[in-house]
Amino acid sequence: MTTFSLPAPRLAGLVSALPALQQSNAALAERFGAETIAKIIAATGIETRPVATTETVGELGTAAARRLLDRLDWPAETIDLIVVVTQTPDYPMPATACVLQRSLGLGPHAAAFDLSLGCSGFVYGLSVVAALLAAGAARRALLVTGDITSRLIGADDRSLAPLFGDAVTATALEAGTDGAKIAFDLGTDGSGAPYLTCHAGGTVEPGAPRLFMDGTQVMAFSLKQVRPSIQRVMAEAGKAMTDVDHVVLHQANAMMLKVLGQKIGATPEQLVVAVKDYGNTSSASIPLALCDCLADAAGSKQLLLSGFGVGWSWASAWWETPAPGVCEVVRGDVSTARE
């Protein structure tokens, strides 16, 4: 594990872009049986999910980032860094960050690269961006996170089809000036790789990728690693659970969130649960949940974040930041992102 602190970046804004299609889990009853689907909805709390038809991470990311830059009145040439976290890139090469650098009209001075991470990806990406901002390598940055997971799931896979949604979030960050700190705890246990994986789609096993998940192993891993990671990052920050405004965990499903919330001592008022109309949106799930809980926020907010999943990989953060000036969820037309 790696636990450390950095000067905290300022959260300027977030925009989450969702595909136009919103799929109802109840509609899957015809395919998988009404009783099965009713049990899944009751256990997970997931009722509907955004599902991409033709949209890509690059297109949704461009739509979200354009909206964000426009609402913040940030000229494209002021962005020094763009990091894209995804496991469903537009192409094997170039990096999707390069696609966005071009589509957004960022200057050639802007560094652009991808990170291949899933459910822990937002916090991992945040740690990388925070470090580069703290080092003075950039003043303003975009962190774009999300996946089109539905394309990895077979139409007949009743264990996964009702769980995953597609979304991409753009987060605007800039170097902080108030002396606040952000604390991180990052860790990996590669022995868990076989339990949440795509067996095909790479050079080892070419072919159409298909997602495999052993839900029992995922739950066991989460219950084992999340609480200690949160304890370490809180100790690093010198904070207690009573200091937290919002606890935002990876939004896997409502049952897992409630169990983990109890284990870490979070109150129902602190714990953010935002899966009902989104499902599990991979690395977009934490910023998408932040869009929900910070939409009308004001003043300074103390956030406890933790992402965990594929890898096994986990990442937690304690972050004190002014409430963002922009916090929106947009859906639908990405035609301008294809220009």
- Nearest of 311, 59, 23 to residue 153 by alpha carbon: 23
Indicate which residues carry an active-site annotation.
119, 250, 280
pLDDT tens for 23-35 read 999 999 889 999 9
Query: In terms of DSSP bridges, do strands 2-7 and 181-188 run parallel, antiparallel, or are they unpaired?
Result: antiparallel
Strands across the sheet containing 140-147: 111-115, 81-85, 140-147, 167-174, 10-18, 326-331
- Nearest of 309, 260, 3, 284 to residue 171 by alpha carbon: 284
What are the tokens at 7? 């000067």
| pTM for this entry | 0.96
pLDDT at res. 337: 59
Dihedrals φ, ψ of 314, to 5°?
-145, 155
| Band of pLDDT at residue 338, cut at 50, 70 and 90 | low
Q: Which domains does the chain have, with CATH numbers?
A: 2-179+326-338 (3.40.47.10), 181-322 (3.40.47.10)
| Band of pLDDT at residue 155, cut at 50, 70 and 90 | confident
